[in-house]
Amino acid sequence: MAVVSELLREEGNDALSFGDYTLPEKAKLEDKFLGETYKVKTHKEITRLEKNGEFVYESIPGTAVVGFKGDATSASFTVEGPSDAQITLGFEPETEYKVTVNGKEAGVIKTNLGGKLSFGVELDAGKETKVEVEKA
């Protein structure tokens, strides 16, 4: 997998790919996908995705995300970055979600009052990591 040079790309399976962690300066792009407006901001320090003005995804440092599918109850995607990342996803407030990384359960995490779910992912540069999150 490589960075998403288009910053935001529609995949054929109703999924999105976004993010370019190699950029030294912040880049932004807004586009429509399946009738929704998505906005991505990305560079080496952070990657952030919003849908219709609502928070969806953020990573620190920046990452490249491929095949992102998500709703209020689940998300799945493959992520790549230069080093370990803190990932935050937007879900339902005060709800428990099971997180799986590369097929191994990473635990059950409860979202905060704002619906944000945060967890760390160990990333090796150039290697893909599969993340799946579902309501517990």
Choice among 1-10, 48-57, 73-82 with the minimum mean pLDDT: 1-10
Enumerate residues 6+ apart whose C-beta is below 8 A from 91: 72, 73, 75, 97, 111, 115, 116, 117, 133, 135
Q: What is the pLDDT of residue 3?
A: 77
Q: Residue 12 domain-assigned?
A: yes
The domain in which residue 13 lies consists of: 8-135
Position 2 pLDDT exceeds 70:
no
How confident is the model over 70-83, as a mean pLDDT?
95
Q: What is the pLDDT of residue 72?
A: 87
16: left (phi over 0), alpha (psi -120 to 50) or beta: beta
Separation between Cα atoms, residue 16 and residue 77, nearest integer Å: 9
CB contact at 8 A, 131 and 78 = yes
In the structure, what pLDDT confidence band is assigned to residue 1 with cuts at 50, 70 and 90?
Answer: low
How confident is the model over 13-24, as pLDDT tens digits?
889 999 999 999
* Sheet arrangement for strand 116-121: 27-33, 36-42, 47-51, 54-60, 85-90, 116-121
Q: What is the pLDDT of residue 100?
A: 98
Confidence (pTM): 0.95
Mean pLDDT, the chain, rounded, equals: 94
Domain count, the chain: 1
CATH number, domain containing residue 116 = 2.60.220
Choice among 60-64, 108-112, 124-128 with the minimum mean pLDDT: 124-128
Phi, psi of 38 (to 5 degrees): -110, 145
Q: Residue 107 domain-assigned?
A: yes
